[in-house]
Structure 1
Amino acid sequence: MENSMNLFEYEITQHSADSFREMVYFCSPEGTCRLESIPRPQIQVMEKLLNERGRKGWELLQVSFGKDGILVFWKRMIIEENE
């Protein structure tokens, strides 16, 4: 019986606030942010990002909002070919 283990790789992408001009989120001076409202066009921008990455095998782990933009944390399984 072969011992198999799932292997993963991770990636963090940055997206500037300009990419989400109409997304309304507010950050306190301490860096705590909250969403107030998200217009439909901005939801579509986020859907496009998620779908593009998902088609490449990436799974969304977390999105971190900041005053200058967002950090998106991704993971995907590494598929190794048997030798």
Structure 2
Amino acid sequence: MGSFEYRVSLHPVEDFREMILFCSREGSCKAEMVASEQIRKMENLLNEGGLQGWELVQANFGQDGVLVFWKRQMH
């Protein structure tokens, strides 16, 4: 089994404001309620990490932004 290295990155709430608040008041959450610009920003973030060999482990959305956990195999 290989060894991994890990990285944690924080991305400001301004970049993902609409993605954090995508549920209705009734509690219904649908992907189409997320603005397409917000989806593109997330895709770009994930693709940038992927190009450097990082794999997304988890993304946590909070009032201060998005905390992203990455891992990649060490060579």
TM-score between both structures, scaled by the size of structure 1 = 0.72
Q: In structure 2, how many angstroms separate the alpha carbons of the residues matched to 1:48 and 1:62?
A: 16
> What residue in structure 2 maps to residue 11 of structure 1?
7
Q: After superposition, what is the alpha-carbon deviation per residue over 1:29-67, rounded to whole angstroms, capped at 9, x for unaligned?
A: xxxxxx663111110000001001001000000000111
Bigger fraction of residues in strand: 1
Q: 4+ residue stretches of structure 1 with deviation over 6 A?
A: none
Kindly state the Cα deviation for residue 68 of structure 1 after the two structures are TM-superposed.
Answer: 1.1
Larger radius of gyration: 1
Bigger fraction of residues in helix: 2
Q: In structure 2, how many angstroms separate the alpha carbons of the residues matched to 1:46 and 1:22?
A: 12
Q: In structure 2, how many angstroms separate the alpha carbons of the residues matched to 1:55 and 1:23?
A: 23
Q: In structure 2, how many angstroms separate the alpha carbons of the residues matched to 1:11 and 1:24?
A: 22
Kindly state the Cα deviation for residue 12 of structure 1 after the two structures are TM-superposed.
Answer: 0.5
> What residue in structure 2 maps to residue 39 of structure 1?
35
Kindly state the Cα deviation for residue 24 of structure 1 after the two structures are TM-superposed.
Answer: 4.4
> What residue in structure 1 maps to residue 26 of structure 2?
none
Q: In structure 1, how many angstroms separate the alpha carbons of the residues matched to 2:53 and 2:7?
A: 12
Q: In structure 1, how many angstroms separate the alpha carbons of the residues matched to 2:58 and 2:16?
A: 17
Cα separation, partners in 2 of 1:24 and 1:7, compared to 1, 3 Å: closer
Structure 1: state its 5+ residue gaps: 27-34
Identity %: 51
Structure 2: state its 5+ residue gaps: 23-28
